[in-house]
Structure 1
Amino acid sequence: MANDPLRLVVFDCDGTLVDSQHAIAHCMDHAFAAHDLDCPGLEKTRTIIGLSLPEAIRKLAAPGMLDDAVIEGVTAAYKAAFFELRQTPDFYEPLFPGVREMLAALDTRNWLLGVATGKARRGLDAVLARNELEGRFVTLQTCDNHPSKPHPSMLHAAMDETGVDAPNAVIIGDTAYDIEMGRAAGMLSIGVSWGYHDIETLNNAGAHAVIDHFDQLPGLLETMWGTGRDAA
């Protein structure tokens, strides 16, 4: 309707839209091994997905073990490993079930869509291109220009770019970092149960709700925003 306020739905990428855990863990182990450091492995790496790369590396290493120069070296080794992995014929970083259908359902409501991710812009662009999602999002916020989650800078920028106020915006993510970022920005924060932090962690971080499948999202947002409109 003409008088309806603009609404903005911002998505995390890794663990929310795409299942990238195995690729991330592989490259993280490679980067640590390249600097003679103990490899963190999949389960430990899952806990830091969503943070910017230097912050993630600091959390994975033993306290006080890495100085800035080593962190910079591990970061560069990770980026090189991921670039190389992305060129392999069997590279696999699939969308989670229901992503395309959910985006189409939100489009019917004329809600603005965005992404806020700890990925670099080059990595996000590669994900969107591979999955033919270019042009689906009106604002793309990455770690290149912002502090790491849970700092709310990315969400503030997304709202500034779209002209949407915090009460009319929501962040959808799979980690406590996403939920905490949303709350710090004054936005609704919705967790997803299929990602890399468990439901208890999401709830403890202050999630307003947690969904088990993307087909639950449009109706939940209608309820939270009180729009009361049926799906088209």
Structure 2
Amino acid sequence: MSLRYDLVIFDCDGTLVDSLDGIVRSANLSLAEAGGVSPLSHACIAAVVGLSLHEAMAVLMPEASEARRDQAVAAYKSHYQRLADGGELTTPLFPGVRATLDALRRQGVTLAVATGKSLRGLERTLREQSLEGYFMVRMTSDHAPSKPHPSMIEQILAATGHAPERTLMVGDTVFDLDMGRNAGVRTAAVTFGCHGREELAGSRPDHWLERMPDLLPVVGVADSDAAGALS
């Protein structure tokens, strides 16, 4: 079986790691502190996961001034770090993620990350999950405009030398999928993250992943490698 894709780009939150609870807690603390906003539901906050913090706050605080939104962004970073440092947040890998990444690497697939997280936040997550050496390129909100702008993927393509038609963007939000389409690459929607199937369907993903190991046959990884990713 020949590989269909040479480069696979992953979103982080909601795709590689299950981090929604920590995001919701930190967001509600920051919204209350900066804007007096009453606690929002998981679904409301999940709807903006994937955007950069400034873009997310613009959606969650539509009537607030830029100064208030900047205050909320700073408060979010402070609360998230405090909760993480205190051991109050957990961001476990979704089932099968590590084995899937290992199988892709064994086949020589180039791996990258494109996330709305800051570089500091991404590096912390990768360090906590012992994934520091997995990704050739790490693109964050520090390097590019917020999703769905195609810049993150365009920079990854330039850095790796891979062609768009041999590249797959994997994500759990419409922002991920629309970014991929805007950059001219194929997309795969995971159904276990922040956005629901009906919402994701509007972005017309090329592939659907009910669990992360489903990615392997999509890429064209041999059965012998796929077997180890089923757990």
**Which of the five TM-score ranges fits, normalised by the shorter chain?**
over 0.9
Give the match's secondary structure for 2:189: strand
Q: Distance in 1 between matches of 2:25 and 2:173?
A: 20
Q: Distance in 1 between matches of 2:181 and 2:4?
A: 20
The corresponding residue for 1:207 is 205
The corresponding residue for 1:119 is 117
The corresponding residue for 2:181 is 183
Instruction: Quote the offset at 1:43 in angstroms.
Output: 1.7
Q: Which amino acid aligns with 1:58?
A: A
Q: Which has the higher contact order (CA 8 A, sep 6+)?
A: 2
Instruction: Quote the offset at 1:174 in angstroms.
Output: 0.3
Q: Which runs of 5+ in 1 are unaligned?
A: 223-227
Q: Distance in 1 between matches of 2:136 and 2:189?
A: 21
TM-score, structure 2 normalization: 0.92
The corresponding residue for 1:17 is 16
Instruction: Quote the offset at 1:159 in angstroms.
Output: 0.6
Give the match's secondary structure for 1:171: strand
Q: Please identify, of 96-105 and 199-208, the stretch whose mean Cα deviation from structure 2 is larger.
A: 199-208
Q: How does 1:148-187 map to 2 (within 5 A)?
A: 148-187=146-185
Q: Distance in 1 between matches of 2:40 and 2:60?
A: 7
Instruction: Quote the offset at 1:6 in angstroms.
Output: 7.8
For the aligned residues, what is the CA RMSD?
A: 1.9
The alignment covers a number of residue pairs equal to: 224
Contact 2:148 2:179 in 1 (8 A): yes
Contact 1:6 1:164 in 2 (8 A): no
Instruction: Quote the offset at 1:91 in angstroms.
Output: 2.5
Q: Which amino acid aligns with 1:47?
A: A
Contact 2:118 2:141 in 1 (8 A): yes
Q: Which amino acid aligns with 1:49?
A: V
Contact 2:4 2:219 in 1 (8 A): no
The corresponding residue for 2:133 is 135
Relative to 1, partners in 2 of residues 1:180 and 1:30: Cα closer, same or farther, differing over 3 Å?
Answer: same
Give the match's secondary structure for 1:39: coil
Q: Distance in 2 between matches of 1:29 and 1:217?
A: 34
TM-score, structure 1 normalization: 0.92
Identity between Structure 1 and Structure 2 (%)? 36
Contact 1:8 1:170 in 2 (8 A): yes
The corresponding residue for 1:225 is none
The corresponding residue for 2:50 is 50
